[in-house]
A and B are shown apart, each in its own frame.
Chain A
Amino acid sequence: MSSELINVSDLNQYAYCPRRYWYLHFYDTQGRNYERIEGKTTHENKSTRGDWVNELYLESEQLGLKGKIDVLDIDDAQPVPVERKRAESGEYYRSDELQLAGYCLLLEEHIDEPVREGAIYLYETDQRMHVPITEDHRETVRQQVNAIQAMSIDSIPSLTDNPKKCEACSTREYCMPEETVMLEPEQAEGTGFEEVISE
């Protein structure tokens, strides 16, 4: 199990909420993850343009990662992985940065040259933001790959530290975070739900 390669997009899922990732990984039999399905359709509708390589698949035993780079911009001498995101807020998240960092690590191993930046393209605002990949990003990616590989169905991640994330989460209806802490308040300890039950 531990040698299984992790999908770069799962770094994003895991960073968003380990418990959500745990459900999707071990329990998602309903196949009703709307956001992921919608994201996929949007990607398919984009056509190819010059100087862009679409959907470059890479994998690395060394990194423990595999994944498809949405777009590789080779306009300049330096190739820049571009990750396209929907974000109604017009902002991207730390978890999106980590996903991008994962692609950068895969790419630099593939071309054997350092890749120091990637870009996130936001559909809503038609903006392309450059994201420098730091040593902190690299370290976090490594840690998360290890943590995901070590996951098992019997080790249930605790509830999220940010209950706001639950509002848009597709696993909420069976994760039942608030309901869980109302019935078993001790499960709120050390999570973002401590405040919810003390209200």
Chain B
Amino acid sequence: MKAAEGMFDESVVFVTKQGTQVRTDGGRIVVWDVDGDDGELASYPTEKLDTINVFGGVNFSTPFVAEANEHGIVLNYFTQNGQYRGSFVPERNTIAEVRRAQYALSEQDELEIAKAMIAGKIRNARTLLSRKGVHGTDVLKDLGVRAENASSKDDLRGTEGEAAERYFDRLDETLTDGWTFEKRTKRPPEDHINSLLSLTYVMVKNEVLSGLRQYNLDPFLGVLHADRHGRPSLALDLQEEFRPLFCDSLVTRLVNRGVITHDDFTADNHLADDPFKTYLSKFDEYMQEEFVHPHFDYSVSRRKAIRQQVILLRKAITDEMDSYHALTFSR
């Protein structure tokens, strides 16, 4: 069997060059250097794209926005160093029936989906550690079983917290000399590794968010993360199973291979401008990299695998499937 011909892999575009404008030109989307003299920097067939991410001083022409609306292209706005600001969502990306099914989920339905996601995350955390030669992760195995049997969301959150703590305790062992990971810090990240982890979580969260929008789910209504104004809870929920193998593994790869060094960071632990561009291109490459799907037995890119999980989540929500099946790797 082979994967369905999708448009996922080249469907996401990142625009980081400042002073550019995204326009339409005869069925193509063009990035134009407005402030400089370089003219057309890149162009893409409109039919193929579903997401455009812009960072900082990039603007969209009005005819382009109309075109994006027409073709169901989601536009996400970020600050120059990758902080999410908001989105333009095409009007057709709202199927009332999908929303209705999502809003009608019972507490028990939500718990079942969340259990699959968290158990998947714990399974994948063990797999990442074992791939890196870190052994003695039986505690995580037990916590995985506990997640599968959780009786309430609070119970599940407790198990998830404990598993995260155990996992991050061992993550240091996966890093090359000169890098250490002591503990996970978020606001603000207190060291370079934490900064890279936070950035990567934001980037993958955005992949998940675009996928949820593309398939008409409401990213702000979660199954496990508490609803909070402005927080895309469902994206955060679905992101859980991808954290170890699609996020942490990219970070360890970038530092272990010397792609990112300590010199690439500013005093407040942010990547400097050029290293940030390097990071984005490495991230995009990583999303397009293929692996053999553990359940379907064909090669898919990480980006496509994430979109497929969005579709499987929608199927679980709309009762097309009996349960949600997380993406798990057992080795």
Q: Give residues in A with beta carbon < 8 Å to B.
A: 26-27, 29-32, 153-154, 156, 172-174, 176, 178-180, 182-184, 186-187
Contact = CB atoms under 8 A, between A and B. Distances in A.
Contacts of A184: 321-323
B97 to A, nearest CB: 5
A30 B296 CA distance: 25
B72 A29 contact: yes
Given A182-B295, A182-B296, A176 B311 contact: yes
Interface stretch (B36-44, B55-63, B270-278, B312-320): B312-320
Contact of B95 (A29, A31, A154, A172): A29
A174 B321 contact: no
A176 B308 contact: yes
A27 B214 CA distance: 12
Interface string B255-298: 00000000000000000000000000000000000000001100
Contacts of B321: 180, 183-184, 187
Q: Which of B92, B319, B321 has the most CB of A within 10 A?
A: B321
Interface in B45-75: 47, 71-72
B18 interface: no
Given A29-B72, A31-B72, A176-B311, A183 B4 contact: no
A29 B92 contact: yes
A180 B93 contact: no
B312 to A, nearest CB: 7
Given A26-B97, A172-B4, A173-B5, A180 B315 contact: yes
Contacts of A31: 71-72, 92
B70 to A, nearest CB: 8
B184 interface: no
A159 to B, nearest CB: 11
B29 to A, nearest CB: 16
Contacts of A32: 47, 72
A107 B98 CA distance: 39
A183 B311 contact: no
A174 B215 contact: yes
Contact of B325 (A173, A174, A183): A183
A180 B92 CA distance: 26
Interface string B80-118: 000000000000111101100000000000000000000
Given A179-B296, A179-B308, 8 more contacts: A26-B95, A27-B98, A29-B92, A172-B4, A174-B215, A176-B308, A178-B296, A182-B295
Contacts of A30: 72, 92
B4 A176 contact: yes
B178 interface: no
Contacts of A186: 322
A156 B95 CA distance: 16
B26 interface: no
Given A29-B93, A30-B72, A156 B320 contact: yes
Nearest to B100: A153
Interface string B214-248: 01100000000000000000000000000000000
A174 B296 contact: no
Interface in B1-52: 1, 4-6, 47
B322 A29 contact: no
Nearest to A176: B311
A153 B97 CA distance: 8
- The listed residue with most B CB atoms (<10 A of its CB), out of A156, A172, A174, is A174
**For the complex of A and B, 4 pairs with smallest distance between CB atoms:** A173-B4, A172-B4, A29-B92, A183-B325
B12 to A, nearest CB: 16
22 contacts: A26-B95, A26-B97, A29-B92, A29-B216, A30-B92, A32-B72, A156-B319, A174-B311, A176-B4, A176-B308, A176-B315, A178-B296, A179-B295, A179-B308, A179-B312, A180-B315, A180-B320, A183-B295, A183-B312, A183-B321, A184-B323, A187-B321
Contacts of A178: 1, 296
A197 to B, nearest CB: 11
A30 B213 CA distance: 11
Contacts of B93: 29
Contacts of A172: 4
